[in-house]
Structures are given as structure tokens and as C-alpha cells.
């Protein structure tokens, strides 16, 4: 790839407006004797050469007001950190599995590489490095690929990876939809009986702490559906999406979209423009998902 | 908006071919002492200034042959009246809540306005007026937004609002898909166990009373999925859709479509051309939805 | 159509790379005294005139390792044979119902003809001939249309019909997704509780016997979702789809797609290019579907 070993120069990731990446780690509570202090992803950029270190670990997280969940995580949060790349980046990613009990792995939808070599299990206490080029721009899911994958995702092992097209800008907001089930209950996943459906890891999170926008200033939202099971019907109340790029690819355009279908394991880039101040909810318009927590709010200021 | 107070000149709404808007109100049966005589939406057009009055009320409606349902309604029908607008219209909409027991509201996907001001609860016996411009053409859902929204929708509070693009024509037919659950049973909505899935409010409605088309005459169908929960797989048996506009926006085009995915809270404009006389069923190709009533028929004449 | 009676000249169907059409019939086991020896579709092509004979029958098929299912079939297999046509073909299709007990029928999404004449029941022991022109290119579903249709599909009566556009080539692979339920249990279909979700008729079929591709050689996959109920989220692990044509129509293009939503009763044409050798799983990214068998593998050679 023409990339040397990681340089001394350290960059923090681009985190324009993504609240989730900025939240502080949840307080640690012991479950089965395991609850790790979250380590944060380390991202080193040198030109188009990017070196990322991520950690898999077990951590309690808050999934609804007052509700703790014994999660399997990337970097101690659910969803894991947003990974911001630029089209053409040469990426070296090291996954450190801090979990003393179980193997984990990472499957990045932005990476076009042989999964049988790249996305394989990292044993407890081990690490593994993969390399890929971020050749296709988009709004992608990453997730743990270890068996049973339905459970690793249901337990919280997913996040968004954004590849900004050449000349483009990262999105203003990243929203990851996912379902929580009874902890460790793979049959609940099979039956499709979630207890919560959430945006960025917590039911109704952005109702109390809304996302911010300004009147007549366009904003972009990278929307990712991590599942594990349900299709999303993403909708912004009081707004019509100016355009949507399926999978976040700039070659795809739908215009004047009221509601956006996003499959589990899929993403989209959404452009909004609010012309009046106010409070605009965003939901999955599948009402059972909304009532289970898939709702939030934009507050639009003058 | 440059609109004066409503003028004396009264227009009936454009109702080209929409059978649902022409049906007579269901016979009234008392439930809990409440079953109101449906009032019909009043639409006054003066150039591009449109004044609409709608009524929310409780009314028994027929949802399958011989099956009555104690509905919460817009204007005494499920779905509520189709609202026909033209791109650029300045709209003043008054919602009169005739329900003596409970608040209702209206959220129109065609309106880009602050929901915290516009789509709020109208108390029992009160009314409220909102204004918006129909700036984006499309095939949109409207629905009650009062909590719990899943229940207000499951009880019947939704309809279609069509914004015809400049120079365009209203659709020949409007089909609204929705699910009915055990009355007033929000848990049935959460569990996703509908008793009926219907087009324009009644299971198998257009099997006995088909929609009409003519050989080699193109027709357009505005399709809206009100949910509350299920994605639709709209399909016309024996036909391939010539083109489909996602969300009804003329800038979106898919061609040669066999089956159209429409999320709950979404709509599409569908263009058909039948080249031979006959009976062409239309269904949601999700078989459980079809068997629960999501089926109808076009009869095509020479 | 300008087609004469079928000529003596017999062509086998185009079967480029479609493993499913080449599999040998399952071993026959008697159920209720009925288990027929599969007859294979007979396809005779003379220029653009195509004559097809297909058979409906009851046959036991293998739907998972060691699991037999008393299927209702087209031509003794589930899915039925892939029908390969070219845009502009004049097709005469004879359906011979070998089932001594029950009526069957065929509804081909590629055919634009009156269903009340063409897709009607063929009584036990009878046959019926229909004619249609393959005027719209695409990747289509065919299925039995006899009531209760949900059960006829759940029992195995579906397949893919490919209409190659003028100047185009048939796809390299055809993958049909479908769900199996408890045999003959229509309530399981209504409840949406499949026991297996499969590609080309058997859970995890292409995990043991992968599909083959070559490095840097583009391949095309015709993907069809026969349902009966579930939407698919088709995804290839380690790959991004270069482009996808909705319904297989060459006028539709989405680019850089990570996951493709395909409704029950819908299809898509998917273009892939693997740049490194390895094993690339393909799945429905709805995890409950994947864990129930909707997984397979491409092996990519140098
Ligand atoms: Cu894991
Ligand atoms: Cu994935
Ligand atoms: Cu209401
Ligand atoms: Cu809505
Ligand atoms: Cu059949
Ligand atoms: Cu069909
Ligand atoms: Na809206
Ligand atoms: Na949409
Ligand atoms: Na059809
Ligand atoms: Na489609
Ligand atoms: Na992938
Ligand atoms: Na997609
Ligand atoms: Zn490189
Ligand atoms: Zn995973
Ligand atoms: Zn844009
Ligand atoms: Zn105005
Ligand atoms: Zn509502
Ligand atoms: Zn058209
Ligand atoms: Zn012909
Ligand atoms: Zn059928
Ligand atoms: Zn292509």
C-alpha cells in the first residue's frame, strides 16, 4: 500500500458532531466477575495511511434510562466508535481482544478483502492486524463476525464506518439503529422479540438530549442499521429528505424522500434542510420499533 | 403565503377515480356510548390557496365482510379522505376534534413545518389550524401523531395526501395499505399480530368491487403504506410496473418493477399499462399479508 | 407471435453456472403413498420461439443436511428449474399437473397477461398451455398461484425466470431465497415462524459446496426472493456490490451497494468483482434468517 510503519504523529479521529463518540464510558459494574474499563480506539493518520487499534471487551452499558445491559463491545461502547476514513485510505487495523473468555472478530463492510483471512476469530487475550484500502465511499456497518453472529450483534458488537468520497466532507451526524434482546438469549433473537430498538445505543436517547441543527443550514446524517434482524423505516417528522444516497455512495440519489428503508447490515447518507426553528423528531416509522425506543429529536435553532 | 381568508367560492376536492373517497359512511353503531356521524372534509380552493377542514372522531367501520371495528378516524372513514394538492399550494388546515374523550392530532408527511408547533395534540372538543406550503410533490402519508402513536394508527387514523407536481395530473387511483389489530390492544401492535391487512380499509375490498382500467390506457396508482408496522411488497399479478417513483417524487424512477417495497410511513407512485383485457389481482406479495386481506383486483376492459 | 408449432430441433436450456439446475433429483420416498419421480422441464428453442413443458408434482426434497421435506414442486425440485429467456422471446408454456390430488398453476412475473385466463388452476392429471412474450428483461419469480397461495409457496412451488436483455448475457449464478415452515402448516406461515431460510432449497447448501469465481473476473448473480413472507437483506461478506439492477432491469442502477433489500416476490441482478482469492460468504444480513440457513459461500480462485 506504500504505507510505512505507523508514525509518531498522532491524530484523533474526525468526530464532527457525532455525539456518540464523545460520550463518557458508562460506569463499570461487575457481571460474572467481568466488566472492563473501556479502552478507546486509537487512530493514527499519516497522509492517506491510517492505523487503527480497536479493543473488544465486555462492559455494562446503559440501553434505556436506568437499564443496564451486559454488553459485548468494541471499545467499551455500544455502538462502537465511528470510524472515519477518506476514499483511497490505506488502512491497517489491529483488533485487540481483551475478553478473557471468548473469541471476537471484526467484519467491516467498507473492506473488500477475503473474510476467511481478515474477519476471522481473535482468541481471548490475543490480537490480529488486517489491511485494506477504503476504495469505495459510503456509509457502512462494521460488526463482530464470530459465531453465533446473531448473538454477537445482539450483545452490542457493531458500529459505523464512514468512507468520505474524494472532495467530500464527513457527515454531520451518525445514527446507528439496533435492537436489544434479553441478554444472552439467542432464542429471543431468533423469535424476533426485542426489548428495545434504539438509536446510538440507548432508547429515546436524543429525546432528552437532542441533536442540534440550524435553520437553512443543510445537514447530513449517516444512518446505519446494525440489526440484528429488523428493517428500519427511518423518518424525520416535519421534514422531507432532500436526497438520500443508498449505501452512502455519491452515485446513488433519491430525491424528496419521506421515509428511508434501510435493511439490517445496510446504511444510507441522508441530506436534510430545516427551514424553520423547532423540534423535529426522528423515528423508525415501523411503530413497534418506535414505541420500543427508536425515536430521537433534532432541535433546530435560528 | 399571500393567501387571504377563505373565500366564499367552494370547490370539492379532486377525486378522479378514487373510490374510497366516494364510499358512503358506514352505518353507525353505538360503542361505549360513542359513535359519531362522519363529517366529511371541507376543501376550499382559491387559486393556489387551499383551506381544508378535517374532523377526528370515533366511528364504527367495516374492515372485512361482516366485521365491524370501533375506529378512531379522520372524517369517519378508514383511511381518512385523500387530500389532493398541487405543488406550490398554500394550505391552511383546521383539525376539529369531535372526540369527547381524547386528544388527536395530524402529522402530514407533505408538510415541512415544526412538528412541536404544528402536529401537537388537539384536546377533546377543540380545534387547531396549521399552515404549510406543499413545496415537494409526492405521495405522502398523513396520520394522527398523538401518543401512543402506534395505537392511534392501529385504530385507523391515517390517510393519503397527494401533491401533484407542476404540470402533472393527480393519480387515477389511491391505495392505502394498513394493518388492523385486536381493537385497542396495543400489545398486539407491539407483538405484530394483525388480524387483517387491508387496502383502503377493508380486507379483500376490491376483489368483489374491482378497480377499473382500459386496455392500452396508462394508469397511475398512488400507493401509501400506513402501517403501523409492516413493510409492503406491492405487486400486480400479470403486470410489470412500467415505472415507479419512490415517495412519488418525479425525479425518482425505477423501471420494469415486478414488486415494490414500501415501508410503513412511505409512499410511491406506480405507472401501469395493461395490454389485454382481464382480471389482474394486486397484492402485497408478503403472503401472510395477502392471506390476511391485502388483495384486490383491477378489471381491464377493451 | 409468428411462431409455428414446436419444431423437432431440441435445445437444452442455457444453464451457465447455475448449480441448482444441474443437481440430481432427490431420492424418492413415499409419503401418503405419493412421491413422484421428478420430470425435468423440456425447453425447445427455435429462433425467438420457445416452447417449455413443466410438471407439477409432489416429491420429497432435502432442505437441510439429513432433513427431508414433503414438497409440492415444479419438476421435482425446490426451487423449480431456472427458466432462461431472451428479451423478445415468444413463449409457449405447457404446465402438466402430475399431482393426482390437487390443482396447481403457474404465475410468471415475467409474463404480462391476464391472470384470470393464464394463471388459473390446472386440475389433477390435466395440463394447460399459455403463451406470452418476454418483452421486459429482468430477474423474476415464478410460483404456483393456487389457493391457498401462501401454502403452495411454503410447500416449495417457485423458481426463477430470467429474461436477458437484447445484447446481454445470462447471469453466472441464480440464487433463490425462500423459507420453509412445518410441512402443510399454514398457521406457521401466518405466524411467520420458519424452520429454515434457504438459498436454492437447502440450508447452508453452498457452505459445503461453494459457488466458484475467479479473481478480477466480474460475475453476475440473479437473486430472487420467493418468500413466502420475509424480506431479504442480501449481502456478500468481504465484498461491495459494484452495481445492482432492481428487478433485473438494465435501466435501474444502484452503485457501491453493501446490502440489497429484496421483497418477497421480487428479484435483482447483482454484479460482483473479487480482487483477491479467498472464501466470501453470502447471507441474508437479517441475522435470524442467516442463522436459520440463509448462508452460502463463494470460493474465489486466482
Ligand atoms: Cu464478538
Ligand atoms: Cu455484515
Ligand atoms: Cu388520534
Ligand atoms: Cu409519519
Ligand atoms: Cu400448487
Ligand atoms: Cu407473484
Ligand atoms: Na415528515
Ligand atoms: Na423510501
Ligand atoms: Na406480475
Ligand atoms: Na422492487
Ligand atoms: Na461486505
Ligand atoms: Na441497499
Ligand atoms: Zn493500500
Ligand atoms: Zn459480526
Ligand atoms: Zn445531498
Ligand atoms: Zn404559503
Ligand atoms: Zn400519528
Ligand atoms: Zn411513469
Ligand atoms: Zn409472441
Ligand atoms: Zn403462486
Ligand atoms: Zn453491472
Ligand 20 centroid, distance to C147 Cα (angstroms): 8
Beta strands A219-227 and A266-272 are antiparallel
B177 pLDDT band (50/70/90 cuts)?
very high
- Assess whether pLDDT exceeds 80 at residue B199: yes
CATH topology of domain C19-171: Immunoglobulin-like (2.60.40)
Most distant CA atoms of chain C, gap in Å? 53
So what's the architecture of B189-301 in CATH?
Sandwich (2.60)
Which pLDDT value is given to residue A3?
83
Instruction: Check B112 against A259: CB less than 8 A apart.
Output: no
Contact A259 B263 (CB under 8 A): yes
What's domain B19-168's architecture?
Sandwich (2.60)
Tell me the per-residue pLDDT of B49-100, one tens digit each, with 9 for 90 and over: 999 999 999 999 999 999 999 999 999 999 999 999 999 999 999 999 999 9
Q: Which chain A residue is nearest to residue B152, measuring alpha carbons?
A: A287
> DSSP 3-state assignment of A205?
helix
Query: Is the model's pLDDT at C35 over the cut of 60?
Result: no
Which among C114, C192, C246 is the nearest to B280, CB-wise?
Answer: C114
Fill in the DSSP letter of residue A32: T
pLDDT band at B20 (very low <50, low <70, confident <90, very high): very low
Instruction: List pLDDT tens digits, range A15-56.
Output: 333 333 333 333 333 344 455 556 667 889 999 999 999 999
Residues of C with CB under 8 A from a CB of A: 231, 233, 235, 237-240, 254-261, 274-281, 285-288, 290-292, 300
Q: Is residue C163 scored above 50 in pLDDT?
A: yes
Query: Has residue A101 got a pLDDT over 80?
Result: yes
pLDDT in tens, B238-281: 999 999 999 999 999 999 999 999 999 999 999 999 999 999 99
pLDDT at A28: 34
Residue in chain B closest to A192 (alpha carbons) equals B191
On chain A, the residues whose CB falls within 8 A of the CB of C240 are 109-110, 112, 136, 138, 247
Q: Which residues are registered as beta bridge partners of C175?
A: C223
Q: What is the pLDDT of residue B17?
A: 33
Residues of A in contact with B136 (CB under 8 A): 240, 256
Q: How many CA atoms lie within 13 A of B229 on its CB side?
A: 25
Which pLDDT does position A12 carry in this prediction? 37
Inform me whether the pLDDT recorded for B9 exceeds 50.
no
Q: Give the ipTM.
A: 0.91
Q: Which residues of B86-115 are buried (b: 16+ CB within 10 A; e: fewer)?
A: bbebbbbbbbbbbbeeebbbbbbbbbbbbb
pLDDT digits (tens, 9 = 90+) for A181-225: 999 999 999 999 999 999 999 999 999 899 999 999 999 999 999
Nearest CA in chain A to C235: A265
Share of chain C above pLDDT 90, in %: 85
Binned at pLDDT 50, 70 and 90, residue C49 comes out as very high
Q: Which of B114, B152, B191, B225 to mutate to test the interface with A (most CBs of A within 10 A)?
A: B114
pLDDT computed for residue A37 by the predictor:
57
Ion ligand 6 residues within 5 Å by Cβ: C 265
CB C295 within 8 A of CB B288: no
What is the model's pLDDT at position A21? 35
Domain residue ranges in chain B: 19-168, 189-301
**Alpha carbon A85 to chain centroid distance?**
14
Q: For residue range C278-290, what is the model confidence (pLDDT) as tens digits? A: 999 999 999 999 9
Give the Å distance between the CA of A279 and the centre of ligand 4: 15
Residue whose grid cell is 410489470: B240
Q: What's the topology of domain A19-167?
A: Immunoglobulin-like (2.60.40)
**Once rounded to an integer, what is the mean pLDDT over residues C153-157?**
98
Taking contacts as CB-CB distances below 8 angstroms, the residues of chain C near A150 are 287-288, 290-291
How many whole angstroms separate alpha carbon C111 and alpha carbon C113?
6
Q: What is the pLDDT of residue A299?
A: 98
Domain A19-167 matches domain A189-301 at the CATH topology level: yes
Nearest to C221 by CA among C236, C207, C231, C232: C236
Q: pLDDT tens digit string along A117-165?
A: 999 999 999 999 999 999 999 999 999 999 999 999 999 999 999 999 9
Strand partners, A59: A71
pLDDT at B40: 67
Report how far ligand 19's centroid is from the alpha carbon of C133 (Å). Answer: 5
* Structure confidence at residue B208 (pLDDT): 86
Amino acid at each position: 500500500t506504500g504505507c510505512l510503519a505507523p508514525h509518531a504523529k498522532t491524530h484523533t479521529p474526525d468526530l464532527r458532531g457525532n455525539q456518540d463518540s464523545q460520550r463518557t464510558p458508562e460506569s463499570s459494574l461487575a457481571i460474572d466477575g467481568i466488566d472492563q474499563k473501556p479502552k478507546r480506539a486509537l487512530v493514527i493518520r499519516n497522509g492517506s495511511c491510517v492505523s487503527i487499534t480497536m479493543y473488544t471487551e465486555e462492559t455494562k452499558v446503559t440501553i434505556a434510562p436506568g437499564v443496564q445491559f451486559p454488553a459485548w463491545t468494541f471499545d467499551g461502547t455500544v455502538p462502537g466508535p465511528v470510524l472515519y476514513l477518506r476514499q483511497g485510505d490505506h488502512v491497517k487495523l489491529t483488533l485487540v481482544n481483551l475478553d478473557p473468555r471468548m473469541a471476537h472478530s471484526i467484519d467491516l463492510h467498507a473492506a473488500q478483502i477475503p473474510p476467511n483471512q481478515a474477519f476471522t476469530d481473535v482468541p481471548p487475550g490475543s490480537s490480529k492486524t488486517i489491511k485494506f484500502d477504503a476504495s469505495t465511499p459510503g456509509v457502512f456497518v462494521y460488526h463482530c463476525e464470530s459465531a453465533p453472529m446473531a448473538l454477537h450483534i445482539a450483545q452490542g458488537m457493531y458500529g459505523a464506518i464512514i468512507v468520505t468520497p474524494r472532495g467530500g466532507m464527513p457527515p454531520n451526524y451518525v445514527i446507528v439503529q439496533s435492537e436489544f434482546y434479553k441478554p444472552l438469549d439467542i432464542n429471543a433473537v431468533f423469535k424476533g422479540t426485542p426489548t428495545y430498538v434504539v438509536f446510538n445505543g440507548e432508547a429515546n436517547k436524543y429525546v432528552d438530549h437532542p441533536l442540534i441543527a440550524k435553520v437553512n443550514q443543510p445537514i447530513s446524517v449517516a444512518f446505519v442499521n446494525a440489526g440484528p434482524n429488523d428493517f428500519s423505516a427511518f423518518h424525520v417528522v416535519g421534514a422531507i429528505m432532500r436526497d438520500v444516497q443508498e449505501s452512502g455512495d455519491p452515485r446513488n440519489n433519491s430525491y424528496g424522500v419521506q421515509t428511508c428503508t434501510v435493511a439490517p447490515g445496510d446504511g444510507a447518507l441522508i441530506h436534510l434542510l430545516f427551514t424553520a426553528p423547532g423540534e423535529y423528531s426522528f423515528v423508525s416509522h415501523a411503530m413497534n420499533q418506535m414505541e420500543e425506543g427508536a425515536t430521537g429529536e433534532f432541535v433546530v435553532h435560528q
